Chains A and B, each alone.
Chain A
Amino acid sequence: MKQLNSILFLFLLSILMVSCGEDDAKSRDSRSGGAMASNAAERVYVAPGEHDEFYAFLSGGYSGNLTVYGLPSGRMLKEIPVFSQFPTSGYGYSEETKPMLNTSFGFVPWGDAHHPDISQTNGETDGRWVFINENNTPRIARISLETFETEEIIEIPHSAGNHSSSFVTENTEYVVAGTRFSVPYPQEDIAISEMKGNFKGPLTFIAIDDEGRMKIDFQLKMPGFNYDLSHPGRGDSHGWFFFTTYNTEEAHTLQEVNASQNDKDFIAAVNWKKIQEYVANGGGQEIDAQYAHNVYDHETHTATSTMMNKVLTVDPRDVEGAVYFMPTPKSPHGCDVDPSGEYIVGNGKLSTDLTVHSFSKMLKAIENKDFDGDAYGIPILNFESTLAGTVKEGGLGPLHTEFDGEGNAYTTFFISSEVVKWKLGTWEVLDRQPSYYSVGHLMIPGGNSRKPEGKYLISMNKITKDRYLPTGPELEHSAQLYDISGDKMELLLDFPTHGEPHYAAGISADRVKANSRKIYRLDENKHEFAATSEDATKVVRQGNEVHVYMTTVRSHFAPDNIEGIKVGDKVFFHVTNLEQDFDVPHGFAMIGANTSELLIMPGQTKTITWEPKKAGVWPFYCTDFCSALHQEMQGYVRVSGKNSNTPLTWTLDGE
């Protein structure tokens, strides 16, 4: 009966969808006729209970996190903690996740998240992982798109300002991490004024295995320029990586002026396949390094932090034909490669023009040794010989470019605050739309892969001002959604974003949503302190440390009464959620604990510590409204004086 009903329903739905499609086509026609008022609201409306077509992963910038949005609705679906402590879930507070934020500098509670990028297979986004870089204390994180949790963080040694990162090659062979600030390599105590020639800009290539596990394969010891952004080659240019540079002047003070003197900086073209081979054959030199490699395990529900002490460094001059510089005007920022892999776009941020290099011309120039000198022994290719074309008068202050897969490119102009559409090959400007205000990055789902899904574009803006109801001096940033399926871009929606999104990555929901986990299996829980049934709950004292093996299920804790805790003890609450039902988390909060709450997903175990300072009877409770009896989900800990003899007991329902 039910099946029959659902078949009928599907049938009706398909009729509906077909007719909607017709409406859509009609309205599009009338739009191109220019007569009809916009039906933007309809086109971004995702009816209650329905799902968005795309996932968008926006970096949270100085929030240190990654936010997940649905497109076209612009609804925020989740904030995933990555580089910053997150009291909502206990990330970075719980004993299990504190190691995730460990670095060679010790525990760092905050990070500046920048450029998310989705793993790729054959040049297409595959929906396995999102990688994202931390700019301040250089790190790269990997987030699983099964659990939507951070699974791994690797620190990048010898780097500073990890900015030209974390872009993936077309089969996720490597994730790169470049250095924005040149620094002594390795670090040493020298006068800042001796920077020129002495500082370096190491570019780190992190190999990714089939499970996603990251391992630094090599560091390329590049001249001490500022490596700003990068993108991998694809198609024919697969095997190459391109990095924009600024401050080739190597100025060390008032860079605003002194790093803007050269008419041209460079795009560095790195043939990583050559270096990979060189390294595989024993090339390179192992040097001392100190960096943390943090891995979270979904079975033990626990992260481990391992301190590594060596890294392989490669002098680019030792590998013949591995690195070339392509002169690129006006301190280029974004470095973007079109879906075919032929065009490399340098977004000269201090000009009105975009410089586009041709990969095939670059190969020819290399073959003909068409050089214009060298920089620290690295050949500089003749500007004219790699130039494919220039996009003239696009706007002012070009920053980033994405592609729609239909032969068009879209560039953001920060100073003139607009998104400009232009044509690859003819370099003519086709359309421009204002953004509100001062757009930084833009994103088209799959826009930096071989197969962009060119239906929507979002611009991520640095200045919000009057776009929303005012909220005092501090505002969330704003983003705009444009429909780019027609000849002209159409602004459909404005939505606030969290932190400061530097770049985003988008993907068809179909490639991700079926893999999204509902629960963690209790029978796979290998946490050292898990109690996977109420029978296994207990309280164990080891000196002044007390371990509480606790469970939660709708709607009680086991145990819920604990006596025999003393002032000066350190109590570990190891809380296991016994539920195996989708979306039934339980929370745990203890009065006066100098840490966050725990939010525990079904089948998971998390731990916080509590050091009671006063004798008395102190309550704890569930913080997540888990059920109708949520308010009753509470318990007590009796704390006695330091020298008391209260025996250690734990009970549930008096037993």
Chain B
Amino acid sequence: MKISGTIMILGSALLLGLFFYPLWNIRLEAPQYPDPLGMDIYIAGIEGEEEFDIQNIDGVNHYIGMKKIPKPEEMWEFNVFPIVIGSMAGLGILLGFLGFFGKISPHWFMGWLVLMIILGILGMYDFNNWLLDYGTDLDPKAIIKLTDAEGNPLNYKPPLLGSEKILNFTAHSYPRTGAYMMFIGMFLTLIAWFAGFRTVKTKK
């Protein structure tokens, strides 16, 4: 259980990377923006890749009546996400230590992972909802009002993952360092469970 516990500690500690590195990134590329405008999404707020990118994204978006990019205090997520991530990392590390000293069964590790996956899916669902709201809840006095073939207002939602063309912009939405550290961390906890499970089994 020593190896398994160590991997569990390591894996859940990797979550802490989210406090330093962005989780996600959305870049907007257009003929006039050969250097794309970009925003880094952290668990505690959104920052421009370049100093004035957020201001300039807001400037561009005002033509189609989009809301401004929210500041940390304007979205409850930016308060709750750090608490959730911090708690999960703490919990994972605690479980790892307990496992290391053989106090608990490795199935706790699996329990942690399942909880983390559920929370992750909820997080993604929430993020997607925000993107949807951001891309569709438009100012009725918007300067440029475009409709699709059926006459419905155009949807400017950036993709959750991947690249998509929105008017003159191409939006690229991809995970960043923080997310990769989280994925690796979660994968490590799976290995921790597997390793622990096997040791327990051989002992029996």
Contacts and interface: CB of A to CB of B under 8 A. Distances in A.
Interface of A: 1-2, 519, 553-554, 579-581, 628-629
Contacts of A580: 51-52, 55-56
Interface residues of B, number: 11
A629 B143 contact: yes
Chain A to chain B: the 4 pairs with minimum beta-carbon distance, closest first: A580-B52, A581-B56, A580-B55, A1-B174
B120 interface: no
10 contacts: A1-B172, A2-B27, A2-B172, A2-B174, A554-B59, A579-B59, A580-B52, A581-B52, A628-B63, A628-B143
Contact of B59 (A1, A2, A519, A553): A553
A629 B63 contact: yes
Interface string B9-53: 000000000000000000100000000000000000000000110
Given A1-B172, A579-B59, A581-B52, 8 more contacts: A1-B174, A554-B59, A580-B51, A580-B56, A581-B56, A628-B143, A628-B144, A629-B63
A568 to B, nearest CB: 39
Among A1, A2, A628, max chain B CB count under 10 A is at A2
A230 B27 CA distance: 54
B125 to A, nearest CB: 23
Interface string B147-185: 000000000000000000000000010100000000000
Nearest to B168: A628
Nearest to B55: A580
Contacts of A554: 59
Contacts of B172: 1-2
A581 B143 contact: no
Interface of B: 27, 51-52, 55-56, 59, 63, 143-144, 172, 174
Nearest to B144: A628
A324 to B, nearest CB: 56
Nearest to B163: A1
Contacts of B56: 580-581
**Most A-side CB within 10 Å, residue of B56, B59, B143:** B59
Contacts of A581: 52, 55-56, 59
A628 to B, nearest CB: 7
A628 B30 CA distance: 14
B64 to A, nearest CB: 11
A204 B66 CA distance: 61
Contacts of B55: 580-581
Nearest to B35: A582
B167 to A, nearest CB: 11
Contacts of B51: 580
A7 to B, nearest CB: 16
A277 B172 CA distance: 64
A507 B27 CA distance: 35
A254 to B, nearest CB: 61
A554 B62 CA distance: 10
A519 B52 CA distance: 10
Contacts of B63: 628-629
A553 B59 CA distance: 9
A583 to B, nearest CB: 9
A479 to B, nearest CB: 30
Contacts of B27: 2
- Which among B27, B51, B52, B144 has the highest number of chain A CB atoms within 10 Å? B52
Contacts of A2: 27, 172, 174
B90 to A, nearest CB: 32
B171 to A, nearest CB: 13
Among A581, A628, A629, find the residue whose CB has the most chain B CB atoms closer than 10 A.
A581
Nearest to B32: A583
A2 B28 CA distance: 13
Contacts of B52: 519, 580-581
Contacts of B144: 628
A519 B56 CA distance: 13
A309 B148 CA distance: 73
Nearest to B51: A580
A306 B156 CA distance: 56
Which of B55, B144, B172 gathers the greatest number of chain A CB atoms within 10 Å?
B55
A633 to B, nearest CB: 12
A629 B63 CA distance: 9
Nearest to A628: B63
A114 to B, nearest CB: 38
Contacts of B174: 1-2
B144 to A, nearest CB: 8
